[in-house]
Amino acid sequence: MEFDFWMLFAGIGIFLFGIFLMEESLKAISGRAFKDFIRRYTSNRYKALGTGTLATAVLQSSSAVILMVLAFVGAGIMQLSSAFGVILGANLGTTFTSWIVASLGFKVDIESLSLPFIGIGGMGLIFLGRASKAANYSKLMVGFGFLFLGLSYMKTSVDQLTESFDLSTIDDYPLVVFVLIGFIITAIMQSSSASMAIILTALFGEVIDFYTASALVIGANLGTTVTAILGSLGGIIVKKQVATVHVVFNFVTAIVAFILIKPLNYLVLELFALKNDPVIALALFHTIFKVLGIIIFLPFTNKFADFIERLIKDEKVHQTRFIHKTSTEVAEASLAAIHKETAYLIHLVMLHNLKEIQIKPSLVFNSSYLSSLQNTKKDKNLYLKIKNIQSEVFVFTAQIKSSDLSERENLQLNQYLHSIRYAAASAKSIKDISHEFSFLKESKTAYINKEIERTQKFMIKSYTVLHALIRNESPEENFAKIIKYNSTISKRDQNSVIKLSDVIKEKQLSQEDVSSLISFSRNFNLANRQLNLSVKDFTLNTEQTNILEAIENVEIDHF
């Protein structure tokens, strides 16, 4: 029987398409459940390892899991050391496909197994619609069926090849050649699952022996690093750090597996007595050397992550603190990054305003928090930095797919954008009166000197309150405090207007002083209101914001 290359080629294509359908449907079915799972259960290296293994085994995609990890690290809600643990688990989770193929693909009539899945799943896609949850289950069935149909085509074509192929023709090649072949196959196809299916099929059809197959598997494992490297090119710094972790782990694991290839072969074939079941033996070999790599790296995840962070630094100076490290491909992580960036921007505005009114920031912020405001001491133009961050956040937000967020999350995102606009407006209002403040500060008039002192004291007190509100994560507590704070601001505004009117009537000030004081007072009060609105939109949920706006019924100038 003549070897049919196109049957093998079609089998690989159908197998890959099946993997793709399974991955897409499983991601849709799991929704944000796995994203929340990955976010929450990574507090230590062992949890991170288990999380990465389970998520990859279920989602059938280590790349999808690593993408989530990248986004969460960039958003500052996961440490690189935890991400390392998840990556180790994801590498182990990829062996799950090998076990499925080895245990089912060569034990039953795989074409008969695949056809019912394709038939039922295909009918479900047609009659249940493409957007429903049932349709995703149908797509999963089709993907599962295609996976085994592709494997059937590969198996049939390799059976044909066996009749005309002489195994002795490759016996003289050193094992490292087959490691290289496995690497090239995986690098080209960008799928270790497809490589494993081809290797298992060739082993089952006796085209290659077990030692050759195990060398090919080592090469295939190393070939997955190409995807990580390509994905990190031109990407954010966190992507490069995670890609480096992935490459180093796979490279070291491949070297160890190659050095121990004979003992490991003896272990699975003789001690586990799998000489008569080579496909299961190869799946076990694949799992064992992955576990070996985990045993080597797991105790050193924290130290290794620190080393990678020192080795690969972002040389570019960024105005933002979080969003430039976060990919918009995972919307939930993007929202978390914007949340942190908004808090950072508000604090920069507070710092800017304090400096413009000649107040020491240490009277509001403690020294450790001041030092955490990234390079602010070196920023010659803090207002320009605030404007640049505002622009970058709006550009970043435009890249997030609103369909990937829930309705509540979209509302929250809009609140963050409003918060950023109000904060930037507050900085502008203070900037516009800085020259008037300097003029008033030089005044010899007692009333103006007292007013300047009262203004500075009020600013210290109010900013201390706002700083505490931003750091408090309880919307219920913040709601009550903001209502009280709003009342304080309103009373102060009214009192300052009354006092100024009395002073003007008594003609205690010059016309120039009056003009500067009115302008300063108006813009200072406006800046306070704008900053208060910014903190309100940042700290409260949508329902509380609507209630507060109804209570206040306050109009504020928009810019």
pLDDT band at 192 (very low <50, low <70, confident <90, very high): confident
**CA angle, corner 434, sides to 431 and 437, nearest 5?**
150
Q: Is 358 left (phi over 0), alpha (psi -120 to 50) or beta?
A: left
Task: Give the pLDDT mean for 187-210.
Answer: 83
The per-residue pLDDT for 558 is 40
* CATH assignment of the domain containing 511: 1.20.58
Residue 267, in any domain of the structure: yes
List the Cα angle 104/101/286 in 5-degree steps.
130
- C-alpha angle 187/192/196, rounded to 5°? 120
Tell me: pLDDT of 37 over 50. yes
Q: Which residue has the higher pLDDT, 381 or 424?
A: 424
Helix (H) or strand (E) holding 53: helix 45-59
**559 within a domain of the structure (yes/no):** no
Cβ–Cβ < 8 Å for 466, 350: yes
**Using 50, 70 and 90 to split pLDDT, how confident is the model at 550?**
confident
- CA 444 to CA 412: how far, in whole Å? 48
User: Which residue range is the domain that position 241 belongs to?
Assistant: 5-311
Closest CA to 84 of 341, 290, 304: 304
- Higher-pLDDT residue of 28 and 441 is 441
557 is a domain residue = no
Q: How far is CA 64 from the centre of its chain?
A: 11
Asked if 400 and 270 sit in the same domain, the reply is no
At which of 277, 311, 345 does a domain end? 311
| Exposed/middle/buried for residue 315 (C-beta within 10 Å: 0-12, 13-18, 19+) | exposed
Lowest mean pLDDT among 224-233, 327-336, 510-519, 546-555: 546-555
Q: Are residues 449 and 529 in the same domain?
A: yes
Considering 256, 278, 311, which residue would you say is the last residue of a domain? 311
Number of other CB atoms surrounding residue 132 within 10 Å: 12
287 and 393 assigned to the same domain: no
By C-alpha distance, which of 529, 515, 500 is closest to 435? Answer: 515
Confidence of residue 430 (pLDDT cuts 50, 70, 90): very high
String of b and e for 109-126 (b: at least 16 CB within 10 Å)?
ebeebbeebbeebeebbe
* pLDDT recorded at residue 554: 47
Same-domain check for residues 388 and 456: yes
Average pLDDT of span 263-280:
91
- What is the three-class DSSP state of 449? helix
Instruction: Tokens for 512, please give them.
Output: 């120039």
Residues 240, 262, single domain; the answer is yes
- Does residue 78 carry a pLDDT above 50? yes
Asked if residue 492 is part of any domain, the answer here is yes
In this predicted model, which residue has the larger pLDDT, 366 or 346? Answer: 346
Residues 271 and 375 in one domain: no
Residue 278: which of 499, 460, 102 has the closest Cα? 102
**Is residue 266 located within the same domain as residue 386?**
no
> Is 318 part of a structural domain of the chain?
no
525: pLDDT confidence band, cut at 50, 70 and 90? confident
335 and 280 housed in the same domain: no
Check residue 552 and give its pLDDT: 61
Tokens of 48: 């991170």
Q: How far is residue 5's CA from residue 79's CA, in Å, rounded to a whole number?
A: 47
**Does some domain include residue 112?**
yes
Q: How far apart are CA 150 and CA 18, in angstroms?
A: 8
More confident: 329 or 268: 268
CA–CA distance, 197 with 319 (Å, rounded to integer): 47
| Neighbouring residues of 36: CB distance < 8 A, sequence distance ≥ 6 | none
pLDDT score of 284: 94
pLDDT for the residue 137:
83
> At a CB cut-off of 8 Å and minimum separation 6, what does 447 contact?
503, 508, 509
Quote the CA–CA distance of 334 and 514 in Å, as a whole number: 48
Q: In which band, very low, low, confident or very high, does the pLDDT at 210 lie, cut at 50, 70 and 90?
A: very high
Helix, coil or strand: residue 221: helix
Cα gap 531→542, rounded to integer Å: 18
Confidence at residue 555, expressed as pLDDT on a 0 to 100 scale: 41
Does residue 166 form part of some domain? yes
CA pair distance 85, 89, nearest whole angstrom: 6
- Whole-prediction pTM: 0.71
Residue with the bigger pLDDT between 388 and 493: it is 388
In a domain, 237, yes or no: yes
> For 318-406, where are the alpha helices, taking DSSP H only?
331-356, 367-372, 382-398
What is the chain's alpha carbon radius of gyration, rounded to the nearest angstrom?
32
136 and 275 co-located in one domain: yes
Per the rule left: phi > 0, alpha: psi between -120 and 50, beta: everything else, 126 is alpha
Of 288, 311, 334, the residue at which a domain comes to its end is 311
* Residue from 478, 459, 469, 465 nearest 525 by CA: 459
Asked if residue 108 and residue 209 are part of one domain, the reply reads: yes
**Residue type for position 119:** G
CA 519 to chain centre: 46
Work out the mean pLDDT of the chain and round it to a whole number. 82
Q: What is the DSSP string of 77-124?
A: SS-HHHHHHHHHHHHHHTHHHHHHHHHHTTTS-HHHHHHHHHHHHHHH
Q: Which one, of 51, 49, 26, lies nearest residue 40 by Cα?
A: 51
Tokens for 40? 């929450």
Contacts of 463 (CB under 8 A, 6+ apart): 350, 353, 354, 364
| Confidence at residue 489, expressed as pLDDT on a 0 to 100 scale | 73
Query: Do residues 92 and 54 lie in contact, with contact meaning Cβ atoms separated by under 8 Å?
Result: no
Q: Are residues 301 and 341 in the same domain?
A: no
Cβ-count burial 230-241 (b if 16+ within 10 Å, e if not): ebbeeebbbbbb
Number of domains the chain is built from: 2
Identity (one letter) of the amino acid at 431? K
On whether both 496 and 522 belong to a single domain, the answer is: yes
